[in-house]
A = this chain, B = another copy of it.
Amino acid sequence: MLIALDAMGGDYAPTINIEGALDTVNEQNDINVILVGNEPLIRQELRGKRFDPDRLRIRHASQVIEMHDAPSAAIRKKKDSSIRIGIDLVKAGEADAFVSAGHSGVVMATSLLLLGTSQGVDRPAIATLMPTLKEPFILLDVGANVDCKPENLLQFGLMGNTYCKLVLGRSEPKVALLSIGEEDSKGNELTKEAFKLLKNTSLNFIGNVEGKDLFTGKADVILCDGFIGNIALKVSEGLAEAILKMLKQEITSGSAGRLGYLMLKPAFRNFKKRTDYDEYGGAPLLGINGASIISHGRSTSKAIKNALRVAEDFSRKRVYEAIAQAIVSTPATSPVGH
């Protein structure tokens, strides 16, 4: 399996991207990597590092998409960006998957432009894994589509269900809609319509779940539009950080507290591991006809390594083909938009 990695995307690029790639090829026999980006810079980072040059290659890209670039202009003007070249490699069959921690809007739009959607898919979605008190669940869409139609949420359900079965290995995923009450009468216009559509599929649709149920493990796949999903995800990240900060403040401000804190360090470490987004690494674009994986902008080398693993798994299991099959065989979803 050969994966193209955007060496230039993310807050700590290229250093940690290259570190993640090195760790991957040195530790895992089934993943080879093409580093896409500024070749001199990449060579410099690799200097003195031990690796098999057959398994870690470089493809030069002269341009970098910056986080403040507008997607449409970036795609038009930066035709030699690491994102464009990386996705082109997948399109040409020279790589099996693409991973980037860069500008997610540009990765999304370029993937759509070059790879297109899986058959029958109206709009792709970004699917992310989130931790709960039990097993993680899949939340989608977390930012690809800010204004959705009910039919889009239905397709997100079919796509998330397929992904959950193939990648998390759950045989009959519980699929739910994120709303503001459990009854089907609760919600906004979008979710009330989507509820009716989801009820009439072969999905194991368990109805609405509320924000407070996100972390109790009630559902395997939770559906929402990309605006809500992004806010739910970011609120969670922000709050988890704030809570740890507040607790540390409280703990270290007491005298017994400081000693207690030292004793508790292992517990805090375990807790961090359980809630750490790095552990999940990559959020695949579901509905794209190929494997294109978005990694968090603040990705560490561990996150990059995990994203490469997600990409390998996604590509090997041909999730995008299974998604096309699920969409095409569900009559209500085709055609979409009327």
A236 touches B234 (CB 8 A): no
Instruction: Quote the shortest CB–CB distance from A222 to chain B (angstroms).
Output: 11
- Is A213 at the interface (CB under 8 A from chain B)? yes
Residues from 286 to 311 in A contacting B, C-beta threshold 8 Å: none
A238 touches B264 (CB 8 A): no
Residue of B nearest to A189 (CB): B147
A212 touches B235 (CB 8 A): yes
C-alpha spacing A267/B251, complex, angstroms: 5
Known contacts A231-B231, A266-B254; decide if A242 and B133 are in contact (CB<8 Å). Answer: yes
Of the A-B pairs whose beta carbons lie under 8 Å apart in the complex, a sample of 23, sorted by A's number, is A146-B180, A146-B187, A178-B231, A187-B227, A188-B225, A191-B227, A210-B234, A211-B232, A211-B234, A211-B236, A212-B237, A214-B238, A214-B239, A228-B231, A232-B235, A239-B240, A243-B243, A243-B275, A247-B267, A250-B271, A250-B274, A254-B266, A257-B267
C-alpha spacing A268/B187, complex, angstroms: 35
Count of chain A residues with Cβ under 8 Å from any Cβ of B? Answer: 62
Q: Which 9 A-B pairs have the closest CB atoms?
A: A211-B234, A212-B238, A260-B263, A215-B242, A211-B235, A250-B267, A146-B188, A212-B234, A211-B231
Instruction: Quote the shortest CB–CB distance from A231 to chain B (angstroms).
Output: 4
Instruction: Quote the shortest CB–CB distance from A155 to chain B (angstroms).
Output: 19
B274 touches A246 (CB 8 A): yes
Report which of B180, B189, B231, B271 forms a contact with A180, defined as CB distance below 8 A: B231
Residue of B nearest to A257 (CB): B267
Scoring A residues 149 to 180 as 1 if CB is less than 8 Å from chain B, else 0, what string do you get?
A: 00000000000000000000000000000111
- A185: chain B residues within 8 A (beta carbon): 70
C-alpha spacing A250/B213, complex, angstroms: 21
C-alpha spacing A188/B229, complex, angstroms: 12
- Is A100 at the interface (CB under 8 A from chain B)? no
B275 touches A246 (CB 8 A): yes
- A239: chain B residues within 8 A (beta carbon): 214-215, 235-236, 239-240
- A266: chain B residues within 8 A (beta carbon): 254, 256-257
- Is A20 at the interface (CB under 8 A from chain B)? no
In terms of DSSP, what is the predominant structure of the interface of chain A?
A: helix
Scoring A residues 31 to 55 as 1 if CB is less than 8 Å from chain B, else 0, what string do you get?
A: 0000000000000000000000000
Report which of B147, B178, B237, B240 forms a contact with A243, defined as CB distance below 8 A: B240
- Not counting A143-B180, A179-B227, A250-B274, a sample of 12 additional A-B residue pairs whose C-beta atoms are within 8 angstroms of each other reads A133-B242, A180-B231, A188-B225, A211-B231, A211-B238, A212-B237, A215-B238, A232-B235, A235-B239, A260-B260, A260-B263, A261-B264
Instruction: Quote the shortest CB–CB distance from A75 to chain B (angstroms).
Output: 15
- A183: chain B residues within 8 A (beta carbon): 68
- A238: chain B residues within 8 A (beta carbon): 210-216
B180 touches A230 (CB 8 A): yes
- Is A233 at the interface (CB under 8 A from chain B)? yes
- Is A245 at the interface (CB under 8 A from chain B)? yes
- A234: chain B residues within 8 A (beta carbon): 180, 210-212
A267 touches B245 (CB 8 A): no
Residue of B nearest to A259 (CB): B263
